[in-house]
Structure 1
């Protein structure tokens, strides 16, 4: 049974989320502000966090960055009334795994939660925090990537895509699989967003790190 931490100060929304999630088999814990959320997130074993940005004691975007900086590696879904594209981009850059705007349909939020939990499960054991493929090293706790000992600046989405490839090194992953694992509910199968981000990684990591398998998808190679 997955445990979800709800960080939200609006009682009506909290009640709605708790009832809906518990009815779908989840265990929930509620934090009404950033201080309690940080204490709970870093001291308890949660599988996912739902995070409002308009918290009474600290902006949720700040809390998001602080939690990622302190090693909270579980999926975080931002749930907020801020629908500006710049806020959404900022959220992903700060470490959000998904971004849902209010008002929202519970069915959509539930689908996103299941997608994020499925991705986390496929990524493997949460204690396996250091991944290494040839000269590329990824640290899940610090969310840092190095190539030949030199740090590489990756966005949150680029980091997740890199981790996905490293978890499945040598395996061909189709565009549809990558959309599901990395972007979840956000993009349709016809999107070229995967190709765009693979291009980013080839530039930032190594040009030969990801092989295109014609008609099938992409594969991370074992590098030297």
Structure 2
């Protein structure tokens, strides 16, 4: 039985989530503040975490960062009333894998949980040690990025996006593909997450270099190439 940690300070909501997920066959533990959640996570083995952001003791962003220090791969889904673009960006930068805004459809929540757990179970290919494109170098073990001799300091989502671009260098990648493969979810067409993160990367990867690597193909998407 797969074990899920629910972090929600509203006990009524936590109890509803717990009951609904248990009906779907999951083993569920509830925590009502960030410190309690972190203690439970350290003491137990959870396959997935569902966390609010506004929490007593330690907020959801801080909790996500602390969990990532302990277990880099456990899926984290943020379930919160905070729904602005900046809130979502902060959540993904903290290390969240998915983000849902309250009020939510419980069927959609369980579908997203199943998708996250399925990806977690899938066998990964033999680990690579590095990726190289032009003068861009990515150390996959240390998660360090350099362009030439200059280290680039990226957020977790910037790093994941850059890795995907390098893995698909020379190919135009649509925004919908990036949303699905990098964020592993589907975004509303009205959001501008992809463009925001592409701009973040351009500032770090291209701005101080003569040869630009990240290019936009209007109406199609983005491509990593060292050719204009």
Q: TM-score, normalised by structure 2?
A: 0.68
Which of 131, 139, 162 is 1:137 aligned to? Answer: 139
| Residues in 1 aligned to 2:115 and 2:215: alpha-carbon distance in whole angstroms | 26
Offset of residue 219 of structure 1: 9.2
Runs of at least 5 residues in structure 2 that lack an aligned partner in the other structure: none
Pick closer, same or farther for the CA change 1:79–1:193 going to 2, 3 Å: closer
Q: State the match for 1:99 in structure 2.
A: 99
CA RMSD of aligned residues (A): 3.9
| Residues in 2 aligned to 1:173 and 1:116: alpha-carbon distance in whole angstroms | 26
Q: State the match for 2:14 in structure 1.
A: 14
| Residues in 2 aligned to 1:119 and 1:165: alpha-carbon distance in whole angstroms | 20
Q: State the match for 2:66 in structure 1.
A: 66
Checking the alignment, whether the CA contact within 8 Å between 1:119 and 1:182 is kept in structure 2 is: no
Tell whether 2:39 aligns with 1:78: no
Offset of residue 79 of structure 1: 1.3
Q: State the match for 2:2 in structure 1.
A: 2
| Bigger radius of gyration | 2
Q: Encode CA deviations 1:106-126: one digit per residue, 9 max, x unaligned.
A: 12222322333344445828x
Task: State the number of aligned residues.
Answer: 214
The secondary structure found in structure 2 opposite 1:63 is helix
Pick closer, same or farther for the CA change 1:34–1:199 going to 2, 3 Å: closer
Offset of residue 60 of structure 1: 2.1
Q: Encode CA deviations 1:181-215: one digit per residue, 9 max, x unaligned.
A: 32303245x98966875676577458798899xxx
Structure number with greater CO (CA < 8 Å, separation at least 6) is 1
**Which shows bigger deviation, 104-113 or 149-158?**
149-158
Checking the alignment, whether the CA contact within 8 Å between 1:119 and 1:181 is kept in structure 2 is: no
Runs of at least 5 residues in structure 1 that lack an aligned partner in the other structure: none
